[in-house]
Amino acid sequence: MTDLLNKFSKAAKAVSSSKTPMWECVKQAYVDHLSDISTDNLPEEIQIFYDSVKLRVKSVDTLGHIDNDEASYIANDIMYMADVIRSGSRKS
């Protein structure tokens, strides 16, 4: 759980950056911190969110860009998953 906590904490920090466009923050958060996570290693309540983020980020790679609204939705999903991981680690 500690590895997941570190990865999601770093991803949440990356999407919170105001120095770069939202899509770039989301893409970097996924590529740098979340892309090597197996869905099976996640708490059940966030597996669908993770799969959705993964699908949206990977599908955009071929298009190259998404608008700020979609990037914000993805960022919110990443923040939510980080919160779930954090709350789960406090229970352990």
3-state secondary structure string, 49-66? HHHHHHHHHHHHHHHCCC
Which pLDDT belongs to residue 60? 73
Which pLDDT belongs to residue 83? 96
Residue 31 belongs to domain spanning: 2-91
Name the domain count of the chain.
1
Which pLDDT belongs to residue 75? 95
Q: Can you tell me the distance from the alpha carbon of 64 to that of 46, in angstroms, rounded to the nearest whole number?
A: 26
**Helical spans, DSSP H, in the chain:** 2-15, 22-29, 44-63, 68-91
- Give per-residue pLDDT as tens, 58-91: 887 555 577 888 899 999 999 999 999 999 866 5
Tell me the one-letter amino acid at 78: I
- Give per-residue pLDDT as tens, 6-51: 999 999 999 987 788 888 899 899 999 999 999 999 999 999 999 9
Quick check: pTM over 0.85? yes
